Structures are given as structure tokens and as C-alpha cells.
Amino acid sequence: MNKKDCLLKLWIYLSGILVISITFGIFIYILHKGFNVMSWQFIFDSPKGSPLGTEGGIFPALIGSLSMGLLSGLIGGIFSILISIYLVFYCDSKKFKKLISYSLYILSGIPSIVLGLVGYTILIYRFGMERGLLCASITLSIMIIPFISIRIIKLLIDGGEEIMNASLCLGVSKSYTLFKIIIPNLMINILTTITLGMAYAMGATAPIMYTGAVIYSGLPNKINSPVMALPYHLYILVNEGLSMSNAYGTAFVLMMLLLIINGLCRLMAIWRQGASWKKLF
């Protein structure tokens, strides 16, 4: 092995070690800083104290984040599936297909705080929607549509184009092949992609600051209710200097929540492929 190959191999190993070190370092640091406040009471209690948030827990924020994640995943997932199916199987114009594809990439690069501002201007100011769960979820769904669509498009191309071509040659209709063969075979992978998009939405702060998140509220009892959210609660705790220990505890719970969601997605993918559980790691 020559020197260039050795240096390249060393560079690859060091890069991998660096990524692992940064990931686990952040996780351990946050756990260390927030360990003193971690308890079942912290997770299942409401914020208390004066100023609010210096005592008590984060349960309303936890439920608010899950609610926004589920609703945004549902809205964004439906539109992403429809966009992906149209681009892969029904769009015959190459120019229009390129236009939609470029639009998805451009949308994925728009800063999330700009999406929050646009969501506030259009949904609340222009259409008169209430600042709450539904408005925030719609804004988040716009943010995750490119994230989900680009991945589902790849799934449909890799796992569906050959099947579609073979079915059309045999005289089977396009809609029957799509909804009876391709979509059922890819359903677990599609749901996994949507779940990852939901996790991405749950970690966003800027889009919900203007559209639905508040400093304090109870559990959401209707779809237009203002809600608390873990990222926004964390932002308030740090920005106002209320309680750094509670802030680190909130950050740890948010990271664990996203880690659990990603882990479930990984398990779903392994189960779908029928692979060994050893391939989880």
C-alpha cells in the first residue's frame, strides 16, 4: 500500500472517530449538565416557579412537541407521497419535472425562521387562523415536505420503476400496479421516512415561534390551541437565563425523544428487510 492510500485510509478513520466523538461528547455533556434535574416528576409535571420554568417539569411541552410532530408528519407525509408519485409515474413533461424537483431543493434550503415568518403572515395575518397547534403544524409540514419527498422519490425509482414497466408490458394498469404492488411493498420504508421527517419537525424552533408555540399552556384540548414545545421551552429557559439546569434537562429529554424515534425507524427498516438484529448497529 503506497503512502497516498495510507494517508487516505488514516484520514477516513480519523474523520469517523471525530464524528463519533462529537456525537457522544454532546450527548454526555448535556446529560452531565442536566442530570441533577432528571426525574419522573420533571418529565410528567408542569412548569412552575417564579419566573415560570425555574421549577416543575416539561410535560405540556413534551405533549405539545409530539402533537405538532404527528400532525405535521401527517400533513407533510400525504403531500410528499402525492408529489413523489406524480413525479415518478405520472409526469410526462421533463421540463415540468425538473421545475418541481428544483423547487423542492430550493424549498429545502430556505431558512426555517423565514418559513415561520411566512407562515405567520399568510396563515394568521392573511387568512385569520388562530395561533396554535394547527397553524404551527402546517408551517412545519412545509419545512419537511422536501425532506420526505426527495427520499420517497428515490424509494419509488429504486423499488418501483422496473415493476411498473414490467406491469405495463403485461397490460396491467398503472394505478393497479401502484396501489396494489409498489406502495404496499414500500409502505414500511415510506412510513420510516415520514417518521424521520416528523422527528426533524419536532426539533425545529424558529417555525413555531410565530405560529403556535407559547411560553406556557396546558395540554392541547383542541386543534387550534396554543401549545408548548420542547425546543421553544428550551429557547426561553436559555434566552431569559431562567434555569440552565432545567434547560439542559429539557435538551436531554428532547435528544432522547428524537433518538427513540430514529431507533424505532431503524427497527422498522430491519424488520421489513428480515435482517438480523445484529445489523442494528
With contact defined as beta carbons under 8 Å apart, do 65 and 212 qualify? no
Cα–Cα separations (whole angstroms), residue 16 to 10, 113, 122: 10, 32, 44
User: Can you tell me the mean pLDDT for 164-170?
Assistant: 83
What would the grid cell of residue 75 be?
400533513
Cα–Cα separations (whole angstroms), residue 147 to 104, 160, 166: 9, 20, 29
Residues pairing with 213 in the sheet: 227
To the nearest 10°, the Cα dihedral for 231, 115, 258, 199? 150
Report how far residue 239's alpha carbon sits from residue 210's, in angstroms, rounded to the nearest whole number: 16
Band (pLDDT 50/70/90 cuts) for residue 277 is: very low
Domain 58-280 sits in CATH at: 1.10.3720.10
pLDDT at residue 274 greater than cutoff 50: yes
How much is the pLDDT for 138?
94
With contact defined as beta carbons under 8 Å apart, do 105 and 146 qualify? yes
Look at the alpha carbons of 230, 232, 233, 235 in this order and tell me if their dihedral is positive or negative. Answer: positive
With contact defined as beta carbons under 8 Å apart, do 96 and 261 qualify? no
pLDDT at residue 35 greater than cutoff 50: yes
Q: What is the pLDDT of residues 106-117, one digit of tens each?
A: 998 888 899 999
**∠38-266-251 over CA atoms, to 5°?**
25
For the chain, give every domain's residue range: 58-280
How much is the pLDDT for 77?
93
Q: What is the pLDDT of residues 68-98, one digit of tens each?
A: 999 999 999 999 999 999 998 888 888 898 9
pLDDT, averaged across the chain? 85
Report how far residue 79's alpha carbon sits from residue 45's, in angstroms, rounded to the nearest whole number: 36
Q: Which residue has the higher pLDDT, 265 or 214?
A: 214
Share of the chain above pLDDT 70, in %: 95
